[in-house]
């Protein structure tokens, strides 16, 4: 878990956040113990910004990884930064009920299950019923 947080912290250094100056890093652990990282990437057309969590997940999917166990998210906030609503939906759909580890630069850490962060989630199961 320490390594996953450290990798998220390092990924945060690559954040492209010239508009908000709010840097976020994420690190996703696959079932076979591979770590895939992401950072937030902003755009002058603000709505095109990509969050760190989604960067990591889309990288992982595009590399053929489909099974995940944990996601660490690091930002420089005392009140630990949780994933935004859009990311919660994407995390749920691609990662399921994984462990979500929030941390900051002082190594304060909190852990949640994804089902706590997105109760009563909509997903592909509803399309089949």
* Chain positions contacting ligand THU, by CB under 6 A: 17, 20, 22, 24, 40, 42, 49, 51-53, 73, 81, 83-84, 87
Distance of alpha carbon 104 from its chain centroid, rounded? 14
- We find the least distance from the C-beta atom of residue 107 to ligand THU, in angstroms, to be 18
Q: How far is CA 52 from CA 46, 79, 124, 125, 128, in A?
A: 15, 18, 23, 26, 30
- We find the least distance from the C-beta atom of residue 59 to ligand THU, in angstroms, to be 14
- Residue 53 is a catalytic residue: yes
- We find the least distance from the C-beta atom of residue 19 to ligand THU, in angstroms, to be 7
Closer residue to ligand THU, CB minimum distance, 29 or 90: 90
Could you tell me the two tokens for 95?
């990662």
Closer residue to ligand THU, CB minimum distance, 17 or 61: 17
Cβ-Cβ contacts under 8 Å for 125 (sequence gap 6 or more): none
| DSSP string covering 33-59 | S-EEEEE-B--SSGGG-B-HHHHHHHH
Q: Which of the following is catalytic: 53, 93, 110, 128? A: 53
Active site residues: 53
């Amino acid at each position: 878990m320490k390594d996953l947080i450290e990798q998220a912290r390092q990924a945060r250094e690559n954040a492209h956040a010239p508009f908000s100056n709010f840097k976020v890093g994420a690190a996703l652990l696959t079932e076979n113990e591979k770590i895939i990282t992401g950072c937030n990437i902003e755009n002058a057309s603000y709505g095109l910004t990509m969050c760190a969590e989604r960067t990591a997940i889309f990288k992982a999917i595009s590399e053929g990884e489909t099974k995940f166990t944990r996601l660490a998210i690091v930002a420089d906030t005392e009140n630990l930064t949780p994933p935004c609503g859009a990311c919660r939906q994407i995390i749920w759909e691609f990662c399921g009920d994984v462990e979500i580890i929030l941390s900051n630069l002082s190594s304060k850490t909190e852990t949640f299950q994804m089902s706590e962060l997105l109760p009563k989630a909509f997903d592909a199961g509803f399309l089949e019923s």
